[in-house]
Chains A and B, each alone.
Chain A
Amino acid sequence: MRDELEQHLSALWRFALVLTRDADQARDLVQATCVRALEKAAMYHPDTRLDRWLMTMMMNVWRNELRAARVRSGSGTVDAENVLSFDGAGHVETNIFASQVLTAVAALPEAQRETVLLVYLEGWTYAEAAQALDVPIGTVMSRLAAARAKLAGMNPQDKALRKSK
């Protein structure tokens, strides 16, 4: 497992960087994920793509342990599902993304950012993302619709759209 992990370090790094928006945290998150993967190596099924297994594991580590630790420490986080605006901009490490579009992705609320990361950046299907995020596929669709409206530089005219059937 160690050798297989080494082949995915760069991919895990880019994934962690978008997830955490901080180079130091990304580095530590990759290490924490590798530790977890070594512990859980016996549970890995060869038919599963290793990179996706690791990325799913990384999201769980990030959510369950690191983010929870931030809350326990008193710094707190906002429930991603309740954030409707560009809440993330203030937390983005400056100059971490040279790309304008990745900076826009980094500014998305966490739930939308995770979903965009899986579907638009990593190329997962809606169903695969829903399974990894443990949410209904409709939630994936609504997150991507909200994210796409922001990334495309427009606000969705929900009411007008919903009336046209």
Chain B
Amino acid sequence: MKINPETLTAYLDGELDEQQARELRERSLADAQLAATLAALQIDRDRMKQDYLALESDAPVGDLRSALDMDAKPANDIKAGGGNRKLLMAAACAACLAVGVMVGSGSGNWASSEKSWREAVAEYQVLYSEDTLKWNAIAPAEVDTTLKHLSDRIGVPLTRQALKLPIADFRRGQMLTFGSRPLVQLAYLHDGVTPVAFCITPNGASDVGLAAETREGLPIVHWAKDGISYMVIGDIPNEQLFGMAQALRGQLW
């Protein structure tokens, strides 16, 4: 039998067959250098395993269970939360990608949730076109009732006045879910042609001022206050999107 680092490792791991193991054991008894090499290759596998299993105590089981609940729902129950399972998969992958390339990002669970919900919204928003909203607006008589319903679900007072914007028409509002949490989507048609969404989710995020980013090629301005996260997203110039975000933030509070 040829003795090399691989066979020594396999011996220590109990992976050699009985005859090879006996041969190596006998040679190590007669060869002090071989015995010393084997001793130097020793690692404490039990301790390693113990430390590894202990990682479970930090597992974000609640968050993972919530995500699993959402993933396991029938597709029509989550059609607006992320499209379908493939979209959810893409959202999860994209969120992972976003974290992977972000420098100095936090590691808290809410931070990850923050990134994921904005990614899911972006995945959904990219499917919107002018036609989506042009012929699909909420009836004027139903606006107040709809806003009242949405307000009650997320604890944010949504009124016609608070949502009014100078160059974007409010077209409709709908209740979605993300990670078992309610997510309100308020859809606008900017300048009569470009769909823009104002989305709100109470996810316990820490307060954050207005910040810009791009996801799925769409500019986003987002902020968080009192545990509620907000974002506006749409394919319009950054300064106009920023203006919309500023106006909505000021009018809501």
Contact = CB atoms under 8 A, between A and B. Distances in A.
Interface string B220-233: 00000000000000
Contacts, number: 186
B21 interface: no
A63 interface: no
B49 A31 contact: no
A38 B71 contact: yes
Interface in A23-75: 23-25, 27-32, 34-36, 38-39, 61, 65-66, 69-70, 73, 75
Given A28-B92, A93-B107, A125 B60 contact: no
Contacts of A123: 49
A158 interface: yes
A2 B72 contact: yes
A149 interface: yes
Interface in B1-35: 2-10, 12-13, 15, 31, 33-34
A128 to B, nearest CB: 11
B107 A18 contact: no
B97 A73 contact: yes
Interface string B54-75: 1110011101110111011000
B89 A32 contact: yes
Contact-size category for B: 35 or more
Nearest to A27: B112
A132 interface: no
Nearest to A100: B51
B92 A24 contact: no
A14 B49 contact: no
Contacts of B6: 138, 141-142, 144-145
Interface of A: 1-2, 5-6, 9-14, 17-18, 22-25, 27-32, 34-36, 38-39, 61, 65-66, 69-70, 73, 75, 93, 96-99, 101-102, 105, 119-121, 123, 125-126, 138, 141-142, 144-146, 148-149, 151-152, 154, 156-158, 161-162, 164-165
Interface of B: 2-10, 12-13, 15, 31, 33-34, 37, 40-45, 47-49, 51-56, 59-61, 63-65, 67-69, 71-72, 85, 88-89, 92-97, 99-101, 105, 107, 109, 111-112, 115-116
